Amino acid sequence: MKHYLLVSMACFFLLAASGCVAPRYSKPVYRSTPVPAPVRKHTRRQTRKPFEQPATNRSVPQVGRQQLPRPANKAVANFSSQADRQMNQGKLKAAAQTLERGLRIAPKDALLWSKLARVRLLQRRYAQARSLATKSNSLARGNRALVRQNQQTIEQAR
């Protein structure tokens, strides 16, 4: 009987100890094959030619005056013009949000930083207006008109 008890206790301890020692598994490696891009059919929108204004209505840049830069990205340009409309309507909070969305797309766009500085100035958040105008100046790359506008914002915020 003692022998049976010793053997059963030994088996129990072996089973208990082996439960603590399990084989180590590595993290699964996920491999995927790239999905091919869907084939797009031509739509009406893609086949239309862009609208061009007659040559008589085009604005001619003035010689000697440097104009403010236009955003290179079309989405950023849309955000910029939408923010201008919102500012003209007095919706300063919405204009600031729109400009911040544009800055997420193009964080190095000096014009967006300048416009956001103007909005903060109108919101009477003077310290932030100065900071944003300074940021715009650092990205302006020699655009004198934009630097001049930023300097005016900084002076008005003091």
Q: Give domain limits for the chain.
A: 71-157
| Helices vs. strands in the chain: H and E counts, helices first | 7, 0
CA 123 to chain centre: 23
pLDDT of residue 8: 78
**Mean pLDDT over residues 120-149, rounded?**
92
CA 3 to chain centre: 76
The answer to pTM > 0.85 is no
Nearest residue to 67 (alpha-carbon basis) of 134, 143, 149, 150:
143
pLDDT of residue 92: 93
Quick check: helix, strand or coil at residue 37? coil
Structure-model confidence comparison of residues 128 and 21, the more confident one: 128
- pLDDT tens across 51-82, in order? 444 444 444 344 344 455 555 678 888 999 99
Q: How far apart are CA 97 and CA 86, in angstroms?
A: 10
Q: Given 1.25.40.10, 2.30.110.10, 3.30.1540.10, 3.30.470.10, which CATH number is that of 71-157?
A: 1.25.40.10
Average pLDDT, the chain: 77
pLDDT of residue 154: 93
- pLDDT tens across 100-123, in order? 999 999 999 999 999 999 999 999
- Which of 12-21, 45-54, 114-123 is predicted least confidently? 45-54
Task: From residue 95, give the alpha-carbon distance in Å to each of 51, 100, 128.
Answer: 28, 9, 15
Residue with the two structure tokens 């995927």: 32
